[in-house]
Structures are given as structure tokens and as C-alpha cells.
Amino acid sequence: MIEQAAYKRRWRPTRYWLAALIGGALFGVLVASSALSIALDSVPHRASLFGLPAIGLMAVATVFGLRAFRDRKPGVRGRDLMVAAVLFGLGICSWLLVLDVFTFTQAAGPGAAALSALACLPTTAFGLLVVRRLDRNEKEPWRLVLVAAVWGAIVATSLVIWAEALWDEQLGARLVPGPALDASSAFSAGVFEELAKGVAVVLLYLAMRDEFDDVVDGIVYGAAVGFGYNFMESITYMTHLYAVYRPESASLALASAAGQWYQRQVLGLFLGHATYTALVGAGVGVARQLPRLPQRLLAIASGFVVAIAAHFAWDAWAQFFPVSPTSPLAVAEIHLRILVMVGPFTAALLLILAMGLRVEGAALTRQLELEAEAGSGAVLPAEVPVLISPWRRLGVRVAAMARGGPVAYSRLARLQTAQIHLAMERWHRERQETDTPPAAEEALRRQVLELRAATAL
Amino acid sequence: MIRSHDDLRSLYRAMLALGAAGLLILVLGLAVFLRFAPLGQRTGLAARVTGVYAYDPGRRTITGPPRARFPRTQPFAARVRWAALPGGMAVGATWYDSLQEPAGGVGPAPAARLSAGDGLVPERIPPGLHGNLPGTYTLLVLRYADGRPVEILARTTVVVERGP
């Protein structure tokens, strides 16, 4: 209902065209990457067999797309186009997943790859849960958080593999081992990986504006992309080391893979890709609320630059803090190294997050108070102190459950969410940073009143 | 004019400050890169690796024809024509295993001294392991200046096969 209210207009603003342009360019890069995979024979032919479901999804997407262009009714056409786009996206992702699995894990075999994935799944899910909870006022929808994570795991990894390989071939191969080669590889990783991950946040900012409110949302989406990327990268390193050491001994292979898991899924879960891409998200999130285009571009560029720098610093200068495996302090040194090198960037990100939460909290309080004063009934004066406190919101929901069971809990949760959506809409409208028609706000208000009526039953 | 009751300026400035700090780090990285890979280091010289052969570490000799693939338990060595390089030039050669760790080599030493020997560059099985690590091994023939490698004169790769 909220989406319908927000997108009543049939025309689409410029940002959709910009998003489509970026999407089209990325699709071109992915097709080229796929063609190169086949040309260089790095993907076994059995990948084609496992890619059949992807081809099937593409075929069904084409049918829906053609039907959409044939149908004259705008409602039906819009629905068909949406189905076609979703199926097309699923097809792309499943094909890239096939490529990723074979490219990254074929040496270790499907068993080791599946076990590595299973080991990384709970930690990645934990990271996503924690980061989503950071947005204590208006949590991002799971579907978008998961789309961001899937982008990081599948699309971003596919985008960087050829870029980094070409960079290594053109520049890395001419450099002698040492600091210059380390710096070159770190520039490659920082620039290509952060661009490939960050473009997901930019696309969400352009295409899903109603679910991308401010710097807090940017940090959540950015971190989600980072968790996804970290998930696939962890599997890659775990399976690679397992494959390298397996002929020597199974225990050595398992220990190597477990070491990678600990470094990347425990130590580096938050202090790594999640931090880097969340910095991109912070820049995009700040830009979301800036009035002038040059300011927005500067904020987005700042996010990308600091993310690339953080990634670069870790990759290039980690060897300045060497860890001797035979040292009795090796374990402490490994932990200290990541804390010293990535910790400052994570601390800066948390500072930005705290500032964002403070601004968001103050704005919501004000808008809820104004809505209550207006007397529409969507927000009552007594509800304002409850709605601005996550703990008090939870408290009244639990009290409702005690009285009316899970249904009452769920109804009240929906009402609270809609009330906060309304306050957010008011905030963006007051700042003139929304392109939705004024009717959207009234539709949200009506929705709140309907939910209130349902809650009272 | 936008009516705003929010303090977004501090957020914007914080982002700009982070961006500036990031830029500084990247410039510093570029400086490190140029310090260790200065322009104008290329001599145009190239070394020649005549082949990679099965190697007997006990007798320090190679056997059979040159090969591109080796079983894990088979040591191997490259033969380099050091005589083709200026005798006073400091050179060396290092094998890197599939984890990009150094895995044996010769030098650095004047090319004349290396060419006086057998010209072999044997790889070394990692300590504590029974065989080489599977994957691609890379040999780099390097020119040195002031004790540091500064130029790649030749490069070759072989594959160590998976297996017992």
C-alpha cells in the first residue's frame, strides 16, 4: 500500500533512467565477463548444464517482457514488467552463482565448497541481523537487505574478477615482489572491489528512494553488500587453501580453512568489507538529504574515496605488522593488527552512524509531534514518547501480546511501522527531498487510520 | 529555500573530512608505490630460462627433457643462461609457490659468478611438508640494485599437479 501511494505517477523521474543506464552498463560488463570465461575455458562445460535454470528464468522473463509491451492496460503492463525484471534478475544471479562456484571452488570440490558455505552462513546472517537492528527507528525491509547481500556475494564478485585479473596482467606482472607490488594489488582491490560493491548502494539510492531515507539506511545497505561479498570471498579463500593443503594432509587442510574462516568470518566480519562498503553507504546516505547536486556528488565521492583508502590501507600495509606463526604472541598480534588497521575506520563509521541516528531521532520526534498536533488521529499525543523509543515500542507490543496474543502484537507492530513511515514522509516533504506527490502522504495517513481501526478490534 | 531543523551540516562535513583523510592515504600509497617502483628502472635486458627440469637434490643434477608439469613429490629446477647478462650486474632468481610465498632460489650475486656455476635454480619443498603445494609455481629472474630487486628480467611458470 505504501509503495502504491508513493508511486502513483506513471512517469518516472530522471534517477530511474540513471539507474537503468548503470544497470545496462553493468549487464554489458557481465556479459563480456561471461564470454571471456567461455573463451578462456576457465569454466568447465558442466557449468552450462547447471546454468540451465538460469536460462529458463531468462526465457520466462522474456515472455513476460514481450507480453508487457503488447498489453495496452497500464496496470497489467506494469505488473508484467515487474515480473519480467525480477525473473531476469534471478536468472542473472543464478548464472553468476554457477560461474562463481565453478571459478572459485572447483579445485576443492563441491563437498568442501558446501561445507565452507555452511560455515559462513550463520556468521553472515548474524552480521546482517546486527546491522539491520542498528536502524532502530525504521528497519529496512529484509527483501532489500538480502538483495544488497546477494549483490555483494554474486554480482560484485563477478564484476571484479576480470578487472583484477587484467590489472595484475598489465601492471602486476611487471613489478618485482615487495612494497610496490603490494601497493599495486591493494590499489586494484580497493578501487575495483569498492566500486563493484558500492554501485549496489548507488542503485538502491536511485531506484528505491522510498526505502532509502538517510545516512543510517545507507550504512545498513552498504554493510549488507559487504557481508555478502565477505561471504563469497571467505568461501573462495577457505576452499583454495583446503585444495592446496589437502594432498599433504586432511588435518592441515582443515586447519588452514578453519583459520581463514576465523580471520574473515569472526575477526573480519565487521572489521573488513562490511566497514568499507558501509562507508560508501554513509556517503550516499548523506547525499540523499543534501539540497544541491555538487554537494551530493561530493558526499558520494567522499564515501567511495574513504572506502577505497580503508581497503587499500589494509591490503597494502598489513605486512608492516608482520605476524610470526611461531611467536607465542601470534594470536594476540593477529587480533591487534586488524584492530589497529581497520579499527579507526570502523570507529569513524560508528561516529557517523551515531550522528545520523541523532539527526533522524530528532526529526522523527518533531514530525510525530506535529502530526499529533494536527489532530488527524494518525498519531495521538500520548503515542509520541512511545514511538520515538525502540524499547518503549517493544514494551507496548509485548503488553499487547499479553492481552491479545501474537495477532495483537503483529497488528500493533504494523501500526507503529506505518506511523513512523508517515513521520519519515513528512520529514522528507518538509525538506523538499521527495519526488512523491502530496497524495502519497495522505494515503499513508489513511493507511495508519485503517491499521488503528484494525488494532482496536 | 529549504526549511530545515536538522543539523545535516555536521554530517556532511564529517563525510568530507573522511574523504580528505582517504585521499591522503591514497596519495601516501602512490608515494610508496613510486618509491619502490621508480620510473626509468628498465634496462631493456632480458634473461633466458632454457627450461624447467626434474631435479635430483641429492646429486644436484637435472634429468630428462624440460617440462611444464610436475608431480607433487618431484623436485624441479630451472636452468637460466646467466652468461647472456652483463657479468657485473647483480641478479638473482626466486621461485614462488601457489600461495605466492618464496620457494627457493639463487642470488643475488653478480651474473658472472652465477654463470660460473651450473645455472640451475632449484625450488625448495616448504619446510614440514612432504611435497610441493599443488598449483602454479612462478620463477622470477630479477635484477638487483642497492640490495633490492628492481626489474624482472625473465619469468616462467610450471604447474605442480594435485595428487599424492
| Count of beta carbons in the 10 Å neighbourhood of residue A223 | 34
Integer Cα distance of B77 and A38 in angstroms:
34
Burial of A142 (0-12, 13-18, 19+ CB in 10 A): exposed
Identify the residue with better confidence: A9 or A430.
Answer: A430
Residue of chain B whose alpha carbon sits nearest to that of A282: B15
Integer Cα distance of B68 and B156 in angstroms:
10
Q: Taking residues A88-95, report their average pLDDT.
A: 74
Longest dimension (CA), chain B: 86
Is the Cβ pair A308, B37 closer than 8 Å? no
Residue of chain A whose alpha carbon sits nearest to that of B13: A299
Reported as type and span, the H/E element at residue A446 is: helix A438-456
Q: Where does the pLDDT of residue B2 fall: very low under 50, low under 70, confident under 90, or very high at 90 and above?
A: very low
Write the pLDDT tens digit of every residue in A377-413.
889 999 999 999 989 999 999 999 998 899 999 999 9
Residue with cell 518538509: A430
Is the Cβ pair B3, A431 closer than 8 Å? yes
Are A417 and A446 in contact by the 8 Å Cβ rule? The answer is no
Residue with cell 527531498: A433
Integer Cα distance of A90 and A250 in angstroms:
37
Q: Where does the pLDDT of residue A422 fall: very low under 50, low under 70, confident under 90, or very high at 90 and above?
A: very high
Q: What sign does the dihedral A34-A39-A42-A44 (CA atoms) show?
A: positive
Integer Cα distance of A371 and A381 in angstroms:
9
Tally DSSP H helices, then E strands, for chain B.
2, 9
- The verdict on B150 touching A (C-beta cutoff 8 Å) is yes
User: What is the model's pLDDT at position A42?
Assistant: 52
Integer Cα distance of A425 and A420 in angstroms:
9
How many CB pairs below 8 Å do chains A and B form together?
142
Single-letter amino acid code for the residue at A86: V
Say whether pLDDT at A287 is over 60.
Answer: yes
When the pLDDT of each residue in chain A is averaged and rounded to a whole number, the result is: 84
CA distances to A83, A132, A404, B79, B153 from B46, in Å: 59, 56, 83, 15, 5
Q: Taking residues A424-453, report their average pLDDT.
A: 86
Which residues, in sequence order, are CB contacts of A315 under 8 Å at separation 6+? A182, A185, A186, A189, A190
Integer Cα distance of B24 and A202 in angstroms:
24
Identify the residue with better confidence: A275 or A3.
Answer: A275
Say whether pLDDT at A225 is over 90.
Answer: yes
Integer Cα distance of A75 and A329 in angstroms:
66
* Range A82-102 burial, b when 16+ CB lie within 10 A, else e: ebbeebbbbbbbbbbbbbbbb
The closest alpha carbon to A267, from A256, A259, A276, belongs to: A259
Integer Cα distance of A205 and A19 in angstroms:
9
Residue of chain B whose alpha carbon sits nearest to that of A281: B15
Integer Cα distance of A363 and A365 in angstroms:
5
Residue B87 distance to chain A (closest CA, Å): 21
Are A61 and A91 in contact by the 8 Å Cβ rule? The answer is yes
Integer Cα distance of A8 and A18 in angstroms:
20
Q: Where does the pLDDT of residue A52 fall: very low under 50, low under 70, confident under 90, or very high at 90 and above?
A: low
User: What is the model's pLDDT at position A13?
Assistant: 63
Q: Among A93-97, A339-343, B14-18, name the one with the lowest average pLDDT.
A: A93-97
Which residues, in sequence order, are CB contacts of A334 under 8 Å at separation 6+? A263, A267, A323
Say whether pLDDT at A349 is over 90.
Answer: yes
User: What is the model's pLDDT at position A7?
Assistant: 44
Q: Where does the pLDDT of residue A246 fall: very low under 50, low under 70, confident under 90, or very high at 90 and above?
A: confident
Is the Cβ pair B163, A348 closer than 8 Å? no
Write the pLDDT tens digit of every residue in B105-134.
887 989 888 888 788 899 988 778 888 888
Averaging pLDDT over each range in A342-351, A399-408, A447-456, which range is the top one? A342-351
Integer Cα distance of B35 and B94 in angstroms:
22
Is the Cβ pair B133, A187 closer than 8 Å? no
Which residues in chain A are contacts of B93 at CB distance < 8 A?
none
Q: Taking residues A70-97, report their average pLDDT.
A: 74
| Count of beta carbons in the 10 Å neighbourhood of residue B94 | 21
DSSP H helices, A135-214, are: 142-150, 157-170, 179-188, 194-207
DSSP H helices, A189-272, are: 194-207, 215-245, 250-261
Write the pLDDT tens digit of every residue in B21-72.
999 999 999 998 888 877 777 777 888 889 999 998 888 888 889 999 999 8
Say whether pLDDT at B13 is over 60.
Answer: yes
Write the pLDDT tens digit of every residue in B86-97.
888 899 999 999
pTM: 0.84
Q: Taking residues A405-424, report their average pLDDT.
A: 92
What percentage of residues in chain A have a pLDDT greater than 70? 85
DSSP state of B104: E
Q: Taking residues A180-198, report their average pLDDT.
A: 91
Q: Where does the pLDDT of residue A50 fall: very low under 50, low under 70, confident under 90, or very high at 90 and above?
A: low
- The verdict on B27 touching A (C-beta cutoff 8 Å) is no
User: What is the model's pLDDT at position A222?
Assistant: 96
Reported as type and span, the H/E element at residue B21 is: helix B8-36
Q: Where does the pLDDT of residue A6 fall: very low under 50, low under 70, confident under 90, or very high at 90 and above?
A: very low
- What DSSP assignment string belongs to A224-240? HHHHHHHHHHHHHHHHH
Tell me the CB-side half-sphere exposure of residue A65, using CA atoms within 13 A.
12
Is the Cβ pair A289, B151 closer than 8 Å? no
Integer Cα distance of B27 and A286 in angstroms:
25
Residues pairing with B139 in the sheet: B95, B156
Write the pLDDT tens digit of every residue in A309-339.
999 999 887 766 777 777 778 888 888 888 9
Q: Among A83-97, A180-194, A343-357, name the one with the lowest average pLDDT.
A: A83-97
Is the Cβ pair B32, A180 closer than 8 Å? yes
User: What is the model's pLDDT at position A3?
Assistant: 44
Bond preceding residue B108 cis, omega within 30 of 0: yes
Say whether pLDDT at A108 is over 80.
Answer: no
- The verdict on B31 touching A (C-beta cutoff 8 Å) is no
Residue with cell 560488463: A29
| Count of beta carbons in the 10 Å neighbourhood of residue A11 | 5
Integer Cα distance of A208 and A145 in angstroms:
12
User: What is the model's pLDDT at position A86?
Assistant: 82
